[in-house]
Amino acid sequence: MAKIHVEASVNGEPVEFLCEPRASLLEVLRDELGLTGTKEGCATGECGACSVILDGRLVCSCLVLGVEMEGRSVQTIEGIASAERLHPLQQKFLEHAAVQCGICTPGLIVAAKALLDHNPDPSEEEVRFGLAGNLCRCTGYDKIVRAVLDAAAEMRGQT
């Protein structure tokens, strides 16, 4: 089957590419657009390592087709920091030692950002359930939850 031409916006920049109909958004990001920050952990939507924000909504990019990007905007881990400055979430993850091997970190930061975009003052329980779609095997989530709560407080101007 012939490849399909897609135009979309990724991290605020217009992109265009050709993709196979069967290609997932994850494959497009990594293989076509060279954005390897988004990771594949399972390809079946169960680990969250491939989390991106599609038109403001948190999705597993392995469950979205590349062709579904047409006319839409995607934010990936590469678009979280502004030029030369880390996002508070990224900074707090570092300060709290919430990053060990780091494979889940991009997905978690994106998911945490999506959470805080909708709920700027979450409780610990809300953070835990908000991040329940992201598996981490190294940290036991403790420091991740602390980092997200701390980032949320800073973003509300409360630290």
Binding site for another protein (CB under 8 A): 20, 22, 30-31, 35-44, 46-47, 49, 76-78, 80-81, 86, 90, 93-106, 109, 124-125, 127-129, 131-146
7 versus 42: smaller Cβ distance to another protein = 42
Question: Identity (one letter) of the amino acid at 106?
Answer: P
Taking the complex as a whole, the smallest distance from the CB of residue 28 to another protein amounts, in Å, to: 14
Taking the complex as a whole, the smallest distance from the CB of residue 57 to another protein amounts, in Å, to: 20
69 versus 80: smaller Cβ distance to another protein = 80
49 versus 69: smaller Cβ distance to another protein = 49
Q: Determine the Cα angle at 104 with ends 101 and 109, to 5°.
A: 120
Taking the complex as a whole, the smallest distance from the CB of residue 112 to another protein amounts, in Å, to: 10
Residues 6+ apart with CB under 8 A from 25: 52, 54, 59, 61, 62, 64, 65, 66, 68, 69, 74
Taking the complex as a whole, the smallest distance from the CB of residue 72 to another protein amounts, in Å, to: 20
20 touches 1 (CB < 8 A): yes
Cα–Cα nearest to 134, from 16, 39, 36: 39
Taking the complex as a whole, the smallest distance from the CB of residue 22 to another protein amounts, in Å, to: 8
Give residue for tokens 């701390």. Answer: 150
- Between strands 51-54 and 57-60, the pairing is antiparallel
31 versus 154: smaller Cβ distance to another protein = 31
30 versus 53: smaller Cβ distance to another protein = 30
